Amino acid sequence: MIEQPAIRTPSRWASVHEYGLLFVLVACMAPLPLEGLSWLLFDGRPWAFSLASAVITSVLAVTAVLRHGWGLPVRWVEVGAAAALVLTVWSAIGVAHHGLAQTVTGLRLILIPVAFLVIVGALMSGAVSRLLTAVAVLVIANAAAGVAEVLIGPATLVRWGFSPQHNVRYIDGVFRVPGLTEVNAELGMLAGAYLLGYLACWITPRVRPRAVLWHLAAAAAVLCLMLSTSRSGALLVVGGLAGALILPHARSRSRRLVAMALMGLIAAGAAGMFVLIGAGGSSSLFQRFVVWRDLLAAAPLFGDGIGAAGGASYSRVASSPPQFVDNYFLNIGLQFGPVVMVLLVGATVFALVWLARASTRRPELVMPIALVSGLAAASLTLDSWEFTAAMLILILFGYRALRPSS
């Protein structure tokens, strides 16, 4: 009698990880309606769902490490130990400069995307695709909300309780809608992340999108980019596609020339789209250049510690002046010092060179090239690592490309 192979069934923890990430997706892609719900459930504490999302992410990451981490290669354990030492040292610097609460908040913002990497890596077969379908539904919902906000108008939204200069923002005289997120930059980044991952799937072997919802969400993501007028979201897409089309070594010189011409058309089209809707002004960008120069000139050699810049300095527990620099490389420079910032830039370049060379043997590395180059481009004008929804979406697409059965 021939024995039948054992069928691997999802464990209880695998289901918990998937459902936990589904909650996190809703919390970070639709925080605005949850904020309203929190006033009913948590007595005027709109941060309750955000805190719950962070706690769930942390618990899921710890359980994933405990269940799967014992077989890690020694070199990964050594890297983890070195990273823990670095974080401990700069956490101590942060506590000395602005206290424990703000430092812990900054540490959370740094580690949440790392936790996502761990959790998604522990998911069972098929879970990543199901979660990306949920992402598609949420992108479509954000586009519908964005259209509704344009039709209703900012003045009425403020009367309904939307926060001026946060939910309802005018930049260069243009109303920039938030969709279901709290601020237009979040909408633009999650839309850019989905659109980049979706388009990169078409040039990655064996992972072309087939679900109708995914196609509809791609169109909705373009609409979200337009309504949010997020130039960082557009940079994420254009920069990522440029890397994916030009850097892989598997392509011939003629294909690269065609790709470069295509990227020129895409970049021109994106710029034209923003000009058409009245968001082509560059005054805010030039203002950033001046701010960046002054901040970097005043940065201590070892930085002011974790939490000194970015979202932590804007949190409700912050004790230092707010410092949102709209450049994640500079964000790292202010927290860890200019030397670490230069090392981060060098590591990003090294990663792209290594991925490009390895793509000769592994064509599926087109997706990581797209994600790294896109994230690097967006990080030049935004603290991209701190945008939870965008980071989770990019990680999900990355795992789908490297593990097609996921």
CA dihedral over 120, 66, 52, 306, signed as positive or negative? negative
What confidence tier does 195 reach under pLDDT thresholds 50, 70, 90? very high
Structure tokens belonging to residue 214: 């995914």
What is the rounded average pLDDT of the residues 76-105?
Answer: 88
Q: Is the pLDDT of residue 181 over 60?
A: yes
For the chain, the distance separating the N- and C-terminal CA atoms, rounded to the nearest angstrom, is 33
> How many whole angstroms separate alpha carbon 108 and alpha carbon 88?
13
Give the Cβ contact number of residue 205 at 10 Å: 12
**Count of Cβ atoms closer than 10 Å to residue 139 Cβ:** 32
d(CA 395, CA 367): 10
- Per-residue pLDDT, averaged over 265-291, amounts to 60
More confident residue, 318 or 334: 334
Mean of the per-residue pLDDT values of the chain: 84
Which of the residue ranges 121-130, 218-227, 259-268, 328-337 would you say has the lowest mean pLDDT? 259-268
pLDDT at 75 over 70: yes
Model confidence at 320: pLDDT above 50: yes
Q: How confident is the model at residue 263 (pLDDT cuts 50, 70, 90)?
A: low
Percent of the chain with pLDDT over 90: 45
User: Could you tell me if 104 and 55 are in contact, meaning their C-beta atoms sit under 8 angstroms apart?
Assistant: no
pLDDT tens column, 10-68: 456 568 888 999 999 999 998 888 776 766 666 666 677 888 889 999 999 988 888 76
What pLDDT is recorded for position 399? 93
Lowest mean pLDDT, pick from 29-38, 69-78, 121-130 = 69-78
* Residues with Cβ within 8 Å of residue 390, at least 6 apart in sequence: 186, 189, 190, 192, 193, 236, 384
Q: Give the pLDDT score at 4.
A: 41
What 43-52 contacts at long range (C-beta under 8 Å, 24+ apart), as own/partner pairs, is: 47/316, 52/23, 52/27
Classify burial at 268, counting beta carbons within 10 Å of its beta carbon; exposed 0-12, middle 13-18, buried 19 or more.
exposed
Element containing residue 298 per DSSP (H, E): helix 283-298
pLDDT digits (tens, 9 = 90+) for 353-390: 999 999 888 888 999 999 999 999 999 988 999 999 99
pLDDT over 70 percentage in the chain: 81
The pTM of the full predicted model, rounded to 2 decimals, is 0.88
pLDDT tens-digit readout, 199-240:
999 888 888 888 899 999 999 999 999 898 888 898 999 999
